């Protein structure tokens, strides 16, 4: 697993980067084909490739993950894969290439890999715009979904917030800031008003966050800004809250006379409800105990994943089955190598429990 993880991290695979994704898929093809008895299918959707092994027949289990990372090309030259003190470091090692390595190790240990579908996507980190329909289609014929996203300090993820993403474009009118500023319409002032307006849509008591994340305006210091842009990230535990914020976002209007406001975006991922993980979590705890592995805890997290899609379909889904570690999307990202073996055994035991006649 150490050699495989080193090889997979060495191949840079930013979201949607076809060349890098295809090289990762070729590597994993060499691991999976001998186990599953057939080559994977590469499904290309609007230019982004995804990797799929379909199990024959209905039921069975889907192993779900993604190989794309948030790291741009060139990151491995600055921060190559290394192991220190039992920890593996490198871009994407924790989120979630270590989980993929564990998935293939689990397939090697389970009794009937032919009963398992495997789907690895290439755009999860940017909201799964080309893979969502594929995820939902493949998961729809399975009896359960196991997601190899990283654990939360060893705990599996039985609930996730849903998320929405918005872009707000503001149009004003340019003018010379020194000679005749009164002839301009300042889009930056409207942007400031929109930042305060969207922030007020949050509901801390319900755990609903509405976070302005990216903003830009203006061209030169001596010009009244004619254009401004704002991006907003929304997270909530229930669909009703996401719907409330969505309606309010699309009802936003300008407060600075002469400006125009356009809002694009909608609900991206519905919440992963705890009820959809309950039985799978109980099974996973029993498997861990039977194998003498550490006791398995559960956690609810604010981040979303493709588990949100499968859970919303009513398919039993358990997430966070990847290894221990820390620093997803951060420079200090690392994965614990000892837990990689433990997670492979846990997932193999789960596959056996869920596919046994």
| pLDDT value at 249 more than 90 | yes
Residues, the chain:
357
Give residue 57's pLDDT: 74
Measure CA 228 to chain center: 28
pLDDT per position as a tens digit, 297-312: 999 999 999 999 999 9
Alpha-carbon distances, residue 241 vs 202, 209, 245, 273 (angstroms):
9, 10, 6, 14
When the candidates are 1.20.1250.20, 3.30.70.1230, 3.30.70.360, 3.40.50.20, the CATH number that belongs to 165-269 is: 3.30.70.360
| pLDDT value at 47 more than 70 | yes
Domains 2-161+271-355 and 165-269 alike in fold: no
pLDDT per position as a tens digit, 310-347: 999 999 999 999 999 999 999 999 999 999 999 999 99
| For range 26-46, the mean pLDDT | 96
Give residue 56's pLDDT: 78
Torsion sign over Cα 71, 76, 78, 80? positive
Per-domain boundaries in the chain: 2-161+271-355, 165-269
Residue recorded with tokens 């220190």: 84
| For range 231-235, the mean pLDDT | 97
Other C-beta atoms lying within 10 Å of the C-beta of residue 73: 12
pLDDT per position as a tens digit, 154-201: 999 999 999 999 999 999 999 999 999 999 999 999 999 999 999 999
Helix (H, G, I), strand (E, B) or coil at 229: strand
DSSP for residue 74: T
pLDDT per position as a tens digit, 191-227: 999 999 999 999 999 999 999 999 999 999 999 999 9
Give residue 58's pLDDT: 76
Residue 329: closest CA among 83, 100, 92 = 92
Helix (H, G, I), strand (E, B) or coil at 272: strand
pLDDT per position as a tens digit, 48-75: 999 999 997 777 899 999 999 999 999 9
- Tell me the pLDDT of the chain averaged across its residues: 96
**Residue 117 structure tokens:** 């579908």
188 within 8 A of 217, measured Cβ to Cβ = yes
Give residue 357's pLDDT: 66
pLDDT per position as a tens digit, 108-137: 999 999 899 999 999 999 999 999 999 999
Task: Give the residue numbers marked as catalytic.
Answer: 68, 124
* CATH number for the segment(s) 2-161+271-355: 3.40.630.10
Helix (H, G, I), strand (E, B) or coil at 277: helix
């Amino acid at each position: 697993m150490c050699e495989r993880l080193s090889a997979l991290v060495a191949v840079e695979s930013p979201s949607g980067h076809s060349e890098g994704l295809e090289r990762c898929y070729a590597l994993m093809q060499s691991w999976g084909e001998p186990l599953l008895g057939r080559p994977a299918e590469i499904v290309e959707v609007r230019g982004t490739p995804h990797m799929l092994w379909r199990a024959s027949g209905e039921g069975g289990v889907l192993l779900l993950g993604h190989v794309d990372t948030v790291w741009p090309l060139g990151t491995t030259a600055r921060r190559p894969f290394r192991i220190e003190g039992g920890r593996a470091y490198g871009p994407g090692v924790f989120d979630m290439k270590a989980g993929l390595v564990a998935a293939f190790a689990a397939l090697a240990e389970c009794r009937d890999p032919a009963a398992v579908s495997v789907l690895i996507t290439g755009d999860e980190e940017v909201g799964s715009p080309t893979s969502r329909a594929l995820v939902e289609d493949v998961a729809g014929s399975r009896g359960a979904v196991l997601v190899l996203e990283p654990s939360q300090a060893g705990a599996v993820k039985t609930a996730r917030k849903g998320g929405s993403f918005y872009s707000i474009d503001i149009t004003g009118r340019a003018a010379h800031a020194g000679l005749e500023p009164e002839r301009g319409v300042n889009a930056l002032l409207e942007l400031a008003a929109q930042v305060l307006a969207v922030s007020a849509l949050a509901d801390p008591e319900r755990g609903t966050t509405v976070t302005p994340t990216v903003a830009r305006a203006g061209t030169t210091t001596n010009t009244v800004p004619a254009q401004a842009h704002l991006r907003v990230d929304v997270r909530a535990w229930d669909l009703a809250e996401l719907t409330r914020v969505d309606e309010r976002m699309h009802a936003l209007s300008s407060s600075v006379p002469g400006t125009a406001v356009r809002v694009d975006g909608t609900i991206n991922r519905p919440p992963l409800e705890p009820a959809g993980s309950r039985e799978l979590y109980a099974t996973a705890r029993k498997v861990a105990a039977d194998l003498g592995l550490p006791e398995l805890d559960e956690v609810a997290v604010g981040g979303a994943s493709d588990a949100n899609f499968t859970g919303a379909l009513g398919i039993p889904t358990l997430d966070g089955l990847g290894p221990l570690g820390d620093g997803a999307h951060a420079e200090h990202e690392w994965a614990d190598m000892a837990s990689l073996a433990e997670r492979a055994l846990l997932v193999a035991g789960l596959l056996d429990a869920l596919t046994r006649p």
